[in-house]
A and B are shown apart, each in its own frame.
Chain A
Amino acid sequence: MDIPAAPTVRENPNFELLYWIGCAGSYDRRAQRVARAMVRLLNAAGVNFAILGSEEKCTGDSARRLGDEFLFQELATANIATLAKYGVRKIVAHCPHCLNALLRDYPAFGGHYEVVHHTQLLADLLASGRLKLASPAPGAATASVTYHDPCYLARVNRIHAAPREVLQAALNGTGAGPLREMARREERTSCCGAGGGRMWMEEPPAQRVSTQRAREALGTGAGTVAVGCPFCLTQMTDGVAANGSEARVLDVAEILAERLPANPASGSPAVATANAAGPAVASA
């Protein structure tokens, strides 16, 4: 039986790594593209992974940080039961809020997992040579890039080297030059304005954190603003537009996926080739 490019835990019960998609990756049209880019990368590297599909629920990060502790606990308990059912131990997430909830909130309720951000996994796959990039198309110069550190990733969980390694790998040879850094970065990064449930609140235009932060990003002169969080993706996109700029806002995974070797049926045959390439990948 052929398995989909992003199999569910039922379709690929021998998975090694669970890819936690999160609500934005599942339902938000823009964030879905991040999930698809990530799936292409995982398949290109031959990673044996699965997703929870319809069984995944919101981690409850926003609920807990808005103060609705019991809604959070309800969601957390349900997710922990599902993860236990499929014997999940290792998780990759592209959302720092999901990552933080799984890593920091869930242990108090009995959920203990090894959780990495997708940029950490990608950095490892690049370093170990499992993920191979194509040489950039001749003449296809990439715009210079700046990276906005998500606060739940860089400050709260101290993950800021991996996304930079991935971006640098993606930029090498494209003529984009080194990453353009903002003054406020890494642990001292600025919030995009959407954490703590603020994602779901209206904000008067004059008070938008995203507008201010996007101004800082554009101030580096970069033509592309890289992010590592679906909330930041929305916020920075809005912020760049509010500043009247046409700069692109892309997730780190999307930027890296642009460097994958051309594939006629993008994403699909990767699983089969990976099976041949890596003995560690379980055949379904």
Chain B
Amino acid sequence: MTPTRETFGNIPQSSQWAFYILAVVSTGVFAYGVWRRYQLWRQGQPVGWRELGITALRNMPTLLRRRPRPAAPAAAEIDAPPTLTHLSNQMELKAAIGPGVKRVLVDGLGQQRVKGRGAAGRAHIALFAGFMLLLLGTTLLELDHIAGWISKNLQFHHGTYYVVYEFVLDIAGLFFLLGCGYFLWRRTRRPASVGHRGSDWFVLGTFIAIGVTGYVIEALRIVWQQPHGIAAQCSPVGLWLSQAFAGLGEPGARQWHLAAWWAHALLIFGFFAAIPFTRLFHFIAGPLNLFLSRPAMGQLQPVTMEEVERTGRVGVNDIRQFTFQQLLSLDACMECGRCEDACPAFATGKPLSPKRVVQDLKHLMQDTLGAGPTAAAPRALHGETIAAETLWACTTCSACVDICPVRIDQLRLILDLRRHLANEGGLSGTAATTLRRMQSAANPWGLPASERAAWRPVATPPPAPAAAAEPASSR
């Protein structure tokens, strides 16, 4: 007999109906939660989906075409250092869907940016990989079940496929539980840079209960089904756990199996409905932000005069002036604290934490919804929400941007806010003096342009340049 197991085996028809009804309810709550957050992001400036699509289509040919090999340099150009052309090719910016999808696949599915925080990074990868495999497994199971409605011949959940499937999912559950266990332990340690919410305990508790009930269901099935050989061994954890329930006998095992199955199902529906209302929302906002953000370290968005004439402002002084994507990125933040750990301003006791900025903006975004597009926000963005000293503390070193696993651009948020301050004359002291000098003399020291080359060593004997007034190197 080929190894297999019946989907919804031991589950009465009435329970199956109740299961599907609850699935719809859970999905409905989930969709309502996502819609609520989407309303928050919609307060921002439109993202230009149409434009995004058109750019993508226009760039399709170049995306599909392979990058041409650079031609051998002409003899006259040999002098040029080889890095020159190579470097500028790298810097080409392609606005298209392709890079967004790539970021979702590499940064999201590939977990490339989660690495590098010791055990926490590895635990996240274990939890994530386990979760995704279990999700995929459940989806395949449901597909097989639906296929069975059409024709029994379409079902694929048996034989070698079944053995591999059961084994992979059995191991995936271990990775999932290991990851959850680590994060539960870390919550008790409360590392300073990691944000803490009460709902975190609920989320992790639910996750662990889902994993454990999953194994219990499997163990109880093994008790009454009594599979032999490879059909049993392909579920090593379930088989091991089934020893604990061996004394129940078939009727007892079936009874408890149904109970555990319901507990497992209810936990999953609860968890799914809770996604948009807890930290788990990063399942949605994280990948969305990876897709929509246009990472461009060292680059800033220009402000045009037309824009200033249209909006009557420079920079951002109301949360609704950020873009849809910028507001969405606030929801992608997990408060993992990597940005705060990397921030030189925070490390030296200045009033700036990139994480704090993101969270403060997020709270303002939440509180502003309902005020209407023109009504005043409940709190002022400048001063009340983000203090000027916080904004001026940033050295624009990009450490936070570079380290964020979901590619939040904290620097651009800060710069948009700085632009407004600077335009309103909010900068005083030595920095303001510097800007005035740059305005009048095109250098921060306010020295004459004629002295710009006074440092030069001379090739020919006299005339030596007149000893220029050398500015002190102090600020």
Contacts and interface: CB of A to CB of B under 8 A. Distances in A.
Check if A and B associate: yes
Interface stretch (B47-55, B264-272, B319-327, B347-355): B347-355
A202 B81 contact: no
A191 B397 contact: yes
A209 B459 contact: no
A202 B475 CA distance: 8
B445 A27 contact: yes
A31 interface: yes
Interface in A1-57: 2-6, 8, 16-17, 21, 23, 25-32, 35-36, 39-40, 47-48, 51, 53-57
Interface residues of A, number: 97
A242 interface: no
Interface residues of B, number: 74
A206 B349 contact: yes
Contact of B347 (A55, A58, A103, A209): A209
Given A62-B438, A65-B415, A104-B299, A120 B452 contact: no
Nearest to B299: A104
Contacts of B299: 104-105, 108
Contacts of A36: 455-457
A105 B300 contact: yes
B429 interface: yes
A6 B421 contact: no
Given A193-B395, A206-B349, A90 B80 contact: yes
B344 interface: yes
Contacts of B347: 209, 212
A201 B81 contact: no
Interface stretch (B138-146, B169-177, B196-204, B465-473): B465-473
A201 B348 contact: no
Contact of A28 (B85, B300, B421, B471): B471
A190 B344 contact: yes
Given A200-B430, A200-B431, A69 B314 contact: yes
Given A8-B453, A54-B452, A195-B397, A71 B439 contact: yes
A70 B423 CA distance: 9
Nearest to B439: A71
B438 A201 contact: no
A202 B315 contact: no
B450 interface: yes
Contact of A67 (B423, B470, B475): B423
A269 B472 CA distance: 30
Contacts of A196: 394-397
A26 B395 contact: no
B150 interface: no
B339 to A, nearest CB: 13
A6 B457 contact: yes
B13 interface: no
A155 interface: yes
A209 B344 CA distance: 6
Given A114-B87, A124-B81, A193 B431 contact: no
Contact of A29 (B84, B314, B473): B473
A34 to B, nearest CB: 10
A73 B427 CA distance: 19
A188 to B, nearest CB: 8
A71 B147 CA distance: 65
A104 B91 contact: yes
B81 A121 contact: yes
B419 to A, nearest CB: 4
Given A58-B444, A105-B299, A124 B82 contact: yes
The CB with the most chain A CB atoms within 10 A, among B303, B398, B454, B457, is that of B457
Which 10 A-B pairs rank lowest in CB-CB distance, beginning with the nearest? A196-B396, A67-B422, A67-B418, A191-B397, A57-B442, A124-B81, A32-B455, A200-B434, A280-B79, A156-B298
27 contacts: A5-B459, A6-B456, A21-B452, A32-B455, A32-B470, A39-B457, A40-B457, A47-B79, A54-B449, A66-B418, A66-B427, A66-B435, A67-B420, A68-B422, A74-B439, A75-B442, A104-B296, A105-B299, A113-B88, A121-B81, A191-B399, A193-B395, A194-B395, A196-B396, A197-B431, A209-B344, A268-B459
Given A66-B418, A68-B423, A206-B349, 11 more contacts: A6-B453, A21-B452, A26-B452, A27-B445, A51-B453, A90-B80, A114-B84, A155-B399, A195-B397, A207-B350, A266-B457
